Amino acid sequence: MFKGSIVALITPFKNGVMDVDKYVSLVHHHISSGTKGLVPAGTTGESPTLDHNEHKKVIEIAVKESNGKIPVIAGTGSNSTAEAIELSKHAEASGADGLLIVTPYYNKPTQEGLFQHYKTINDNVGIPIIIYNIPPRSVIDMSVDTMARLFELKNIVGVKDATADLNRVDQQLKKMGPEFIQLSGEDGTALEFNNRGGVGCISVTANVAAKLCSEFQEACLKKDNKKAKEINKKLMPLNKSLFIESNPSPVKYAASLLNLSSDEVRLPLVKVTEKTKKEVEKALKIANLL
């Protein structure tokens, strides 16, 4: 259903407002580059600083412009269950193929609270839900047992795992089996993640290396380890450079060099430093993108 290189789409801005033309061109760039899915309104899309109208708009445009050619997994998570339901219902009505729901940040719910949060969203929609487990940003970590309980529900189909703990892939595979979709949320560990049973990555790097990331994931899925390792070696400096400072500031700078987007971000994020710029430029050259 959802596999391969799936891009966590940036949201281009121009003078403080969404640059619709650039956003539309980004969607078509990914379709032509072999990207296997779009994730609008995720963290990389600066969802925390998109207002509700903008949040809905980026999803609507992604659905319209992709026109069924590749799936759209809308970022509709919130630390308010009611808000997550509202955004999720809108995404479903807009034609999204799935939902990416982050574990509630700041509130610090218990495992039972996590279960009830996702169950309530599940009960209010009719499209697949991918759990987004990212303890570094949300503070909480969903346990494998809680995931297993959620997997019994009609719409919960998998996880975007950004725990940086590769042992979790094995644990989740053992507990839920291969039907539970495991997508990496960390470009730097995607190779090993896939070797252990993952089927793709929701990628930041794919914003600026769409074709390479697509070829890398295809090689992984075909068990062509030699090719996967070769491409991964080219991508690793870029994977690292894009997280020197808070995402998505570095990837937006990289996108600006490739004329894919401006490097404009919204406060409290700021543009990257000159030192980071040099690292990003060097990494793009290693990957033969610049």
Q: Which residues are catalytic?
A: 132, 160
Q: How would DSSP label each residue in 98-124?
A: EEEEEPPPSS---HHHHHHHHHHHHTT
Between CA 18 and CA 114 the distance in angstroms is 32
Between CA 223 and CA 39 the distance in angstroms is 25
DSSP conformation class of 251? H
CB 44 within 8 A of CB 9: yes
Contacts 24+ apart (CB under 8 A), 67-70: 69/31, 70/30, 70/31, 70/35, 70/36, 70/37, 70/38
Element containing residue 233 per DSSP (H, E):
helix 225-241
